[in-house]
Chains A and B, each alone.
Chain A
Amino acid sequence: MLKLPVYLDSNATTPMDPRVLETMIPFFTENFGNAASRNHAYGWKAEEAVDYAREQIATLIGCTDKEIIFTSGATESNNLAIKGVAEMYASKGNHIITVTTEHKAVLDTCKHLEKSGIEVTYLSVGSDGLINLEDLAKAITPRTILVSVMIANNETGVVQPIKEIAKLTHQHGALFHTDATQAVGKIPVLVDEMGIDLMSFTAHKMYGPKGIGALYVRRKNPRVKVTAQMDGGGHERGMRSGTLNVPGIVGFGKACEIARNEMDSEAARLSALRDQLQTELLKLEESYVNGSIEHRLPHVTNMSFKYVEGEGLIMGVKDLAVSSGSACTSASLEPSYVLKNLGLSDDLAHSSLRFGLSRFTTQEDIDFAIQCVTKAVNQLRDMSPLWEMHKEGIDLSTIQWEHH
């Protein structure tokens, strides 16, 4: 049975796996203790559960349990990593390098630091969404303390060459942070193998609960430290104070364990469904895939349909829960900055749809999505004066448009 609207927005969030929920429930009621309470069994039980979850999470990303700092989510992790490094390593330098297509949690954190004297270089990307390693090499200076590049982009799913980026960063003595929000649990992410010093990730993108995330902070080769951004009881090795969200952490741990066991088979199944969706939609004239097809998450595709307006398209696919690259809430349209940084024109950025498949996506869902998008695009084009002009061979750029 198809449940409408069909959910294909797993880059925004994923439904929680029932197995995750099941492990969490006792920690709301009978095992409600504070993991920091050292004097009674309630506290010990909670601490034990947190330790176990820490182990599950550490195993997924190939680190030790002491290197996991719990936060409220990836936004907080990104803030803690970047601000915390900038503060801790202020005597070493004041230069940070990141990329124009990063999530706002990284970009706006960097912008905030710029106000207090930190210099930030924003690397651009090619039409495939990938950074150029030579650009990175040129941008690094002796004052560079941190390079922050996401593993997989939230809008396009494009996966950066992390190992090479980290290597280059280390050659120049800087630390490497990555926002791995979209990647952890979906593709293999191993911090040692990839050379990651700090890594932000969150439970709710991998079938876990919302409100719990983590920052991986390397303890050996090199030993990395971040200055706490929240003062209090000195939890999490002094890097993040605040009572631990025990049920959330337990769920996060379980989500990581499931991901580790099922990632390979899930990725294979979802990439087949994703490819089918993409192949069928590419049969529509003037439809395009945004970003690298080769270096991409297995369950994501971002496509544009020319001569169709984004908001109209979203209305036409109301039975699909998808995201559009068009943030059109008023007369002033703001197309996705990520797609614009890939070099897409405003109109193609507006008419984009982001599909993110999940563990619970079925063949039936994909068949329905193909049918739904195809119908909406065809209907809107039948109604579009731009499509008619295109079909008549008129170059739209030669027309004198009346701007409002």
Chain B
Amino acid sequence: MAYSDKVIDHYNNPRNVGTLDKSKNEVGTGLVGAPECGDVMRLQIEVDPETHVIKDARFKTFGCGSAIASSSLATEWLKGKTVDQALEIDNMDIVEELALPPVKIHCSVLAEDAIRAAINDYRVKNGLDPIEDNNRIH
């Protein structure tokens, strides 16, 4: 399969690979996917408790080039956004930016799920209710 130049760039030079201290209250961790499905994404955010701005974002992904690129791109987009702004990232934005083919759309969905999971982990840790989402179909 032919990958887009942007996917190849993220694959060859992944941004923000790494691990944040998940025991810290400011850190939210989202782990989505399953090994037998061929994709596991872990996305972490570190939030400024005063401003709710995401100071740092890190990922580690087990998956194909599109999955790696989707999570790498997500970390780039997350940094500098507030938590509420981050919730507005839509998987179709990722599809468009990376020119993902239809068979790889699930990679972008996974990245969006990982963002939400990380934000919810952060919210729960800090005494807030998780964001409910009933409209999503996988």
Contacts and interface: CB of A to CB of B under 8 A. Distances in A.
Contacts, number: 87
A312 B63 contact: yes
A384 B60 contact: yes
Sort chain A's interface into a size bin.
Answer: 20 to 34
Interface string A360-400: 00000000000000000000101111111000000010000
Interface in A316-334: 316, 326, 328-331, 333
Given A383-B60, A384-B61, A385-B60, A310 B38 contact: yes
A350 B38 CA distance: 8
B63 A401 contact: no
Counting contact residues on chain B (CB < 8 A from A), the size range is 20 to 34
Interface in B54-81: 60-65, 67-68
Contacts of B138: 404
B126 interface: no
Interface of A: 307-312, 315-316, 326, 328-331, 333, 345-347, 350, 380, 382-388, 396, 401-404
Interface string B41-52: 110000000000
B65 A347 contact: no
B19 interface: yes
B38 A404 contact: no
Nearest to A313: B64
Contacts of B64: 309, 311-312, 315, 328
A110 to B, nearest CB: 29
B17 interface: yes
Contact of A383 (B17, B33, B39, B103): B17
B34 A401 contact: yes
B40 interface: yes
Given A311-B38, A401-B34, A331 B106 contact: yes
Given A315-B65, A402-B32, A329 B38 contact: no
B35 interface: yes
A385 B42 contact: yes
B37 A386 contact: no
A326 B17 contact: no
Interface of B: 1, 3, 11, 14, 17, 19, 31-42, 60-65, 67-68, 103, 106, 109-110, 113, 138
Contacts of A404: 33-34, 37, 106, 109-110, 138
Given A382-B17, A385-B31, A402-B32, A333 B61 contact: no
A118 to B, nearest CB: 35
Given A315-B3, A404-B106, A386 B35 contact: yes
13 contacts: A309-B39, A309-B64, A312-B63, A331-B106, A347-B35, A350-B38, A383-B60, A383-B68, A386-B62, A401-B36, A402-B34, A404-B33, A404-B138
Given A311-B64, A385-B62, A346 B40 contact: no
Nearest to A347: B35
B49 to A, nearest CB: 26
B62 A307 contact: yes
B35 A383 contact: no
A388 B103 CA distance: 28
A323 to B, nearest CB: 14
Contacts of A380: 62
Given A309-B38, A309-B39, A331-B103, 19 more contacts: A308-B62, A310-B38, A312-B62, A315-B65, A326-B38, A330-B103, A331-B37, A333-B37, A350-B38, A383-B14, A384-B61, A385-B60, A386-B62, A388-B19, A388-B60, A401-B34, A402-B32, A404-B33, A404-B138
A283 B53 CA distance: 44
Contacts of B61: 383-385
A388 B110 CA distance: 20
Nearest to B32: A402
A347 B113 CA distance: 22
B40 A385 contact: yes
Residue of B32, B62, B67 with most chain A CB atoms under a 10 A cut-off: B62
Contacts of B33: 401-402, 404
A381 to B, nearest CB: 9
